[in-house]
Amino acid sequence: MTSLSPEACHYPLSLNAPRRMRFHPDADLPAWRQEAYATLERLLGNMPARVPLNIRIEWEQDTDLFHETRFLYAAEANQDVPAHLLVPRSGTGPFPVILCLQGHTSGMHISLGRPQSALDEESLTGDRDYAIQAVKQGFAALVIEQRAFGERADSRPEEYHHGVDRPCWHATLAALLLGRTLLGERVWDVSRGIDALAHFPNLDLSKIATLGDSTGGTIAFYAACYDERITATMPTAYICTFRATLAIHDHCEDHYLPGLLNEFELSDLAGLIAPRPLIAVHGRYDISFPYSGTLEAYAEIEKIYAAFGAPENCQLVTGEGVHRFFANQAWPVFRQVTGW
């Protein structure tokens, strides 16, 4: 990098960022957690105002595997979230719930295993039909459409677009104008989705997990930091130091929070999840979230879980592949760690 490029100053600054909320094992854990949570809330930006959920069931259907309910809920004024709840037809329940979050795909129908194009078919080769997998494991699955994806894609008239072809670009920047972040808004939608679960029968609301890859893994992780009702999380293709990935690799703007590295590295944030189970799934040959950064972050996460007296509640599942989920390896570890 030449001294003329922005990266020439940004990258060295990222390597030496203050990381004011660095986790120290000998810290007063309740006091650290309280301050860290307040710091995270500030970084996530202004959260939406709470409104009645106004749940509207659009249709229901039965398959051999599950009963499916398609519904909408209000995350905030003028912002509905489409969702599908799949409840196994075998077993007696109440069923633990896996909250399924897609990354940068064409939408939540991928989690439901319903491809709409050749690209969707390719996405499914990365084990991204999370809801179908969850039901086969004996869990209920809540699938929500994330902001800026699928049914919630940018719907502005064409004359407002000026050649930028990234689904999160405008939503991210418009949120910043309001003192918000798209990441924070997505976390809010997850939290309101958990509120919505209380309106449905035969679910074990003491056992709620988040699962997703890439951007879906990002939200799975941050939602678990933000909402303690999430009792386990399995972020995929995401756990990596910020310095090894966001600070140097190209990523969608929805991953970034202003001032994040001044306060936290990713591993520090895991202190807001511990001692709840954290199963990190990662491909050894992931380019955008390099595995060396994963190992560095996970080594620190292990120390944090040890400090909370629960070293057995964090696990790293390594797949011999790239940027994807590894279902056959991950689910047995998830069951072992959670006991579900």
User: What CATH number has the domain bearing residue 285?
Assistant: 3.40.50.1820
* Residue 137, domain member (yes or no): yes
Nearest by Cα to 322 from 127, 114, 120, 107: 127
Q: What's the DSSP call for residue 180?
A: B
pLDDT tens sequence for the chain (340 residues): 678 888 889 988 888 899 999 999 999 999 999 999 999 999 999 999 999 999 999 999 999 999 999 999 999 999 999 999 999 999 999 999 999 999 999 999 999 999 999 999 999 999 999 999 999 999 999 999 999 999 999 999 989 988 788 889 999 999 999 999 999 999 999 999 999 999 999 999 999 999 999 999 999 999 999 999 999 999 999 999 999 999 999 888 999 999 999 999 999 999 999 999 999 999 999 999 999 999 999 999 999 999 999 999 999 999 999 999 999 999 999 999 999 9
pTM: 0.97
Q: Rounded to an integer, what is the distance from CA 283 to the centroid of its chain?
A: 17
Contact 96, 208 (CB under 8 A): yes
CA 210, CA 218: separation in Å to the nearest integer? 10
Q: Quick one: which H or E segment has residue 191?
A: helix 182-197
Question: What is the radius of gyration, based on Cα positions, of the chain?
Answer: 19
Give the pLDDT of residue 1.
62
Contact 180, 45 (CB under 8 A): yes
Give the pLDDT of residue 7.
86
Contact 281, 52 (CB under 8 A): no
Contact 286, 322 (CB under 8 A): yes
Give the pLDDT of residue 8.
87
Residue 236, token pair as written in the block? 């995929």
Give the pLDDT of residue 3.
83
Domain that holds residue 171: 7-338
* Residue 134, domain member (yes or no): yes
* CB atoms closer than 10 angstroms to residue 71: 20
CA 288, CA 53: separation in Å to the nearest integer? 37
* Residue 203, domain member (yes or no): yes
CA 195, CA 142: separation in Å to the nearest integer? 12
Q: Is 244 left (phi over 0), alpha (psi -120 to 50) or beta?
A: alpha
* Residue 2, domain member (yes or no): no
* Residue 195, domain member (yes or no): yes
Domains in the chain: how many in total? Answer: 1
CA 69, CA 208: separation in Å to the nearest integer? 18
CA 276, CA 221: separation in Å to the nearest integer? 12
CA 22, CA 261: separation in Å to the nearest integer? 10
**In 177-313, where do the E strands start and end?**
203-213, 232-236, 278-283
Peptide bond into 275 cis (omega under 30): yes
CA 270, CA 34: separation in Å to the nearest integer? 14
SS3 of 320, please? coil
* Residue 262, domain member (yes or no): yes
Give the pLDDT of residue 279.
98
- Look at strands 66-76 and 56-62 and give their pairing: antiparallel
